[in-house]
């Protein structure tokens, strides 16, 4: 039986979650991921304020944890170069995209909003998709660099981490990626808030839990070298909803963080999961612990 939920499946936000969770079953490559995003963005943007208000009310999200009406992304990609067939793809799964008032206006423009002040403004879906699929490095160049580099600290840390996991040298320029490294930043939920409140809310919301499970399954179906899950919610989804689909390879503490390695049986994808948001300001690993986590990821993923 699903857990008790504050979110009645008859309310608009729960219905929205269930509808787009169902659609995630079709996502298996970049083309189907693009199609899913177009459908999601059109549906969200046309009723964004009402959906965000309903989510905040039913999930009891307040202050910095409130979802904002800006359309989000489930997965952001690095721009593929002509030599993309030689690149290795790594997927990094986190919780939900952050939101910052300072960078919001620039990001809205890049996403294809026609008017930044309208809560439920239409979105140019071609522009929305172009920015999503070229998020690295355009987000840093067009959104972060002109405002405050500090607002991009999360992805700066994640960028360097993925280079270390892939065993390639970082270019040394913020927001840039090695030519051989292809990255997809995957979220459990495609909604914006200044501070994560969905992790706690999901403990009593079956629609949120179900969506997160389908999101993670879609990430595992995507072609990749390996998947790293860096969030408590993602870790718990793997151990809970996806338990019967995964073969447990190891569980261990690395410093003060708990790690798990599984093989997803349907896709044979190898996954390393860390039960903490290790790129958030409060969750950053010590240099020693990060080296050990990187070594653990490399050893397990390379063993596939």
If you average pLDDT over residues 101-116, what whole number do you get? Answer: 84
For residue range 8-57, list pLDDT tens digits in order.
Answer: 446 999 999 999 999 999 999 999 999 999 999 999 999 999 999 999 99
pLDDT at residue 7 greater than cutoff 60: no
| Phi, psi (deg, nearest 5) at residue 285 | -80, 155
For residue range 237-273, list pLDDT tens digits in order.
Answer: 999 999 999 999 999 999 889 999 999 999 999 999 9
* Sequential DSSP letters for 147-200: T-GGGGHHHHHHHHHHHHHHT----SSTT---TTEEEEEEESS-B-BSS--HHH
User: pLDDT-derived band of residue 1, with 50, 70 and 90 as boundaries?
Assistant: very low
Of residues 6 and 99, the one with the higher pLDDT is: 99
Q: What is the pLDDT of residue 171?
A: 92
If you average pLDDT over residues 74-82, what whole number do you get? Answer: 84
CB under 8 Å, gap of 24 or more: what pairs does 28-34 form?
28/218, 28/221, 28/222, 29/222, 29/223, 30/77, 30/133, 30/222, 33/74, 33/75, 33/218, 33/222, 34/129, 34/133
């Amino acid at each position: 039986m699903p857990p008790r939920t504050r979110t009645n499946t008859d309310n608009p936000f729960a219905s929205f979650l269930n509808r787009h969770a169902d659609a995630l079953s079709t996502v298996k490559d970049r083309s189907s991921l693009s199609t899913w995003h177009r459908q999601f963005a059109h549906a969200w943007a046309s009723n964004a304020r009402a959906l965000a208000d309903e989510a905040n009310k039913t999930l009891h999200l307040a202050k910095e944890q409130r979802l904002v009406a800006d359309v989000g992304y489930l997965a952001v990609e690095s721009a593929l170069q002509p030599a993309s067939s030689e690149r290795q793809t790594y997927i990094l799964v986190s919780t939900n995209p952050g939101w910052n008032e300072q960078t919001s206006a620039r990001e809205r423009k890049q996403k294809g909003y026609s008017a930044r002040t309208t809560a439920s403004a239409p979105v140019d879906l071609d522009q929305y998709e172009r920015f999503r699929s070229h998020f690295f490095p355009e987000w840093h160049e067009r959104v972060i660099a002109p405002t405050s580099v500090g607002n991009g600290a999360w992805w700066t840390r994640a960028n360097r981490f993925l280079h270390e996991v892939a065993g390639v040298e970082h270019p040394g320029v913020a927001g840039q990626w090695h030519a051989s490294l292809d990255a997809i930043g995957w979220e459990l939920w495609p909604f914006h808030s200044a501070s994560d409140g969905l992790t706690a809310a999901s403990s009593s919301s079956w629609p949120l839990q179900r969506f997160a499970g389908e999101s993670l399954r879609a990430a595992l179906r995507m072609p990749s070298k390996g998947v790293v899950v860096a969030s408590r919610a993602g870790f718990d989804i793997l151990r809970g909803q996806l338990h019967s689909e995964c073969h447990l390879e190891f569980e261990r503490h690395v410093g003060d963080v708990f790690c798990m390695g599984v093989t997803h049986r349907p896709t044979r994808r190898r996954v390393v999961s860390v039960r903490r948001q290790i790129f958030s300001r409060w969750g950053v690993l010590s240099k020693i612990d990060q080296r050990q986590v990187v070594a653990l990821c490399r050893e397990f993923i390379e063993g596939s």
